[in-house]
Structure 1
Amino acid sequence: MTFDIVWRSVAIGVGATLLMDIWAFLLYKMFGQARPNWTPVGRWVWHLREKVFHDDIGDATPYVHESALGWAFHYFVGIVYGIILVVVAGAGWLVAPTFLPAFILGMVTVGAGWFLLAPGMGAGWAASKRPNPMKVRALNLVSHTVFAFGLYGTALLIR
């Protein structure tokens, strides 16, 4: 990969993640929807050295910088997804972005949350142990659709 392709891939991931965070903020302001809490994610990342799946991440030993680690991990994952999109779609996609590859990746990335992050933190497969798993799943699908629009929109902005 050339430097131009790398920086564009990184920018696409950051832009998409930022749009997803703006979406979450709007849901909070307009509908009182709880904002994502990246602190438990940071604790989960910290404890990945020991194990992946916890009964309840809240029972794991706290880490002093878990909030910062959670936010950093959130953006790191977004960057990785931006790079994956460009690798899979090809460098030509950067010249003429289309929505479909971004949307497909956005939907595929829901799986990471449902089948790795949620059970890893003790929420069960696809948030099945949460009191409102269908609401969580619906919000995940919408948020990752917004992420897909962010991938596509950022690519359009920087082409």
Structure 2
Amino acid sequence: MLGLGEDRLRADMNRLLTLLFHQGVLDEQFLQLQQLQDEASPNFVFEVVNIYFNESEKLLRNLRDLLQDREFSDYKRMGVHLNQLIGSSSSIGAKRVSNVCVAFRAASEQNSRPGCLRALEVLEHEYCYLKNRLDEVFHIEQQRLLAAGIRYPMQH
């Protein structure tokens, strides 16, 4: 009976990932990341994505803080944060987040505070969607491993 639960969970996870690829949320880089995971590093993707989320939240907070300052004029500093976010998003296959960052960078290069505010709003929305969906994927994966009787020590 455990096998049926494991199969159902694997199918659920595959459906969710297929949806994320179809929506353009993820790209092939995420698949390459998955291929690096093996028995020696069973939590590899989770760990890499968790680092991404931690760093991205700092970058988003920095961008928010910069734009809250009405006297803000250092668009080059904003560009540095956006370039970091583009690079890390691309490295995990977060395609839509990366694309929004590129549009955000274009607004910052035009010194457009209204454009940057709009782009930040879209970026935060895309980031939250990505984070919620990947959290769901990792939760299903954890349930699948439990159903399969595989127990890896969780890294702290």
Q: TM-score category by the smaller chain?
A: 0.3 to 0.5
TM-score by length of 1: 0.36
Pair member with larger Rg: 2
